[in-house]
Chains A and B, each alone.
Chain A
Amino acid sequence: MFKIFKPSPTSYQVKLAGSNTEFSVQRGDSLLNSALSAGVQWPFKCKVGSCGTCKCQLLEGKINPQLDFSYVLDGSEIQQGYILACQTMLKSDLLVSLDLDK
């Protein structure tokens, strides 16, 4: 009836560009943890947003960053849409690019 009362989805879908990999992210879970739970070999080290190992490029969709990425990513990376998966909550379905060979 009123958009304001429309419940937000309980999960979102994430697709990895250039592959058939797709997984869902429950509301409140991070992109990285959901990927790992779905069996994706996503590179990571610290999980607190300090090492940058889990970075990926956001191609489509909206996110809710949990920490300031500018301590780890440089200006050009941020402009190109790079994000830290461990510090990313979702606001929509996403299309991301990840170098799984890292």
Chain B
Amino acid sequence: MKFYVNARYLIVPIMSIITILGVLIGGAYAWVGVALFGINTVIDTLTKDIHLRADFDSQGESYGIKTFQYGIMYFMLPVFIALQIALAYRIFQFTAATPVQIDLFYGIAYQSGISGINLIGAVLSSGLWAGLGIIYGHELSHNKKEGFLVSRLVMALSGASHFTYAHVYNHHLDLGHEDDPATAPRGRNMYAHAWLSHMGQSRYSYNLEEGRLKKQGKSTLNVDNRWILGYLYSLPSLVLFVWAGGLIGIAALFAVWVIANFLLEALNFMGHYGLIRTHGLPVEHRHSWDNDSVFTSWFFIEIGRQCDHHVRGETYFWELDDVKGPNYGIGYFSLFVIALIPALFRRYVEKHLANWDEKYATDDELAIAAKFS
């Protein structure tokens, strides 16, 4: 049981490494990250009706091994760095016009040089899998000390280091309020949310630092400013890509960051769309949507158990459980595809919101909801 509970969360580490190998082997394999994303969407959709509970022994103790799970999460930082280096290597080859030919590396065939079309595949693959760094960045943002720093560094690889502070001090505190940029109000589409939530969280993070430094009598323009520091953490990526490919390198890194941040905000969008909390009332299970079908649970290391997470924010992901809160009943991959088409998402979510209004909302929350209808 212990092996099963701990090994099931290894899907992303394994697939991330396969994606890196795909970029390094080159040719059509550069698209492997995109292909895996597609395959995962199919698996997630086929298994949407399987929902499992968290596993505990007869004493109520979790089977999750903290040292192992933390080891994996920390290990993912060099994995995501390796993914960027692999992409930078391909960009370097492309801009240096390295001839596209089959070579051998210790007996393993790979394609030296890369065509434009396969470089696009490598960029898309890298963006999609860099974006999945959010699941570790998020978990570690709640888990202290060096874990917090690792979270900042993982997010910095996607130019989103501000997330770590904004998530803890803004999103968890202001969930369901209009002043939480990460909560999407009714009627907003995922594309608009990606921009508004990203900018809103970054602004919040800046204001948070400004306030903290002011209290200490320090200037905002200071290396102690963790908002500035967060963006400085992203500087090595920028330097690497400028060195590897000049303007093409910058364009590639920008594409990776846009895709990665879009995925991050897509998770925020799906986790709280249209849900409302009256100011001053405690956060309850009903203020989040669960997406906990089996593949989503294992792949996204239980980030879809939002209802439980927002009430017990200190709880390790492997201990989060189904708390019978609002639930879309499908996984993130399936819902993401629906949300990509705003009109389709609005139709899909209508019945879920109607159910929330009827079953979960208070009168005050319904009054706020009416403003958005």
Contact = CB atoms under 8 A, between A and B. Distances in A.
Contacts of A49: 168
A50 B144 contact: no
Contacts, number: 41
Contacts of A67: 144, 148, 168
Contacts of A33: 314
B216 interface: yes
Given A48-B172, A50-B173, A74 B314 contact: no
A60 to B, nearest CB: 23
Contacts of B279: none
A47 B168 contact: no
Interface in A30-84: 30, 33, 45-51, 66-67, 70-72, 74-75
B312 interface: yes
Q: Which of B148, B169, B208 has the most CB atoms of chain A within a 10 A radius of its CB? A: B169
B283 interface: yes
Contacts of B168: 48-50, 67
A74 B172 contact: no
Interface string A7-22: 0000000000000000
A45 B170 CA distance: 14
A66 B145 contact: yes
A72 B282 CA distance: 18
A33 B312 CA distance: 10
A49 B148 CA distance: 13
B313 A46 contact: yes
A57 to B, nearest CB: 19
B215 A46 contact: no
Given A67-B168, A74-B215, A75-B216, A45 B282 contact: yes
Contact of B173 (A46, A74, A75): A46
Contact of A71 (B208, B283, B314): B208
Interface in B189-219: 208, 212, 215-216
A74 B144 CA distance: 20
Nearest to A52: B173
B169 A50 contact: yes
Given A45-B282, A87-B144, A70 B173 contact: no
A97 to B, nearest CB: 23
Contacts of B172: 46, 48, 50
Interface string A82-97: 0000110000000000
A80 B51 CA distance: 49
A2 B33 CA distance: 52
B142 interface: yes
Nearest to B173: A50
Interface string B155-187: 000000000010011101100000000000000
B62 to A, nearest CB: 13
A84 to B, nearest CB: 11
A48 B144 contact: no
B148 A48 contact: no
Contacts of B145: 66
Contacts of A71: 165, 169, 208, 212
Contacts of A46: 172-173, 283, 313
Name the residue among A48, A66, A87 with the largest chain B CB count within 10 angstroms.
A48
Contacts of B144: 66-67, 87
A71 B212 CA distance: 6
B283 A75 contact: no
Interface in B249-286: 282-283
Interface of A: 30, 33, 45-51, 66-67, 70-72, 74-75, 86-87
A-B interface, 7 closest residue pairs, ranked by CB to CB distance from nearest: A66-B144, A48-B313, A50-B173, A50-B169, A47-B314, A48-B172, A47-B313
Given A48-B313, A71-B212, A75-B215, 5 more contacts: A45-B282, A46-B313, A49-B168, A50-B169, A75-B216
29 contacts: A30-B314, A33-B314, A45-B282, A45-B283, A46-B172, A46-B173, A46-B283, A47-B312, A47-B313, A48-B168, A48-B172, A48-B313, A48-B314, A50-B168, A50-B169, A50-B172, A50-B173, A51-B173, A66-B144, A66-B145, A67-B168, A70-B215, A70-B216, A71-B169, A71-B212, A72-B169, A74-B215, A75-B215, A86-B314
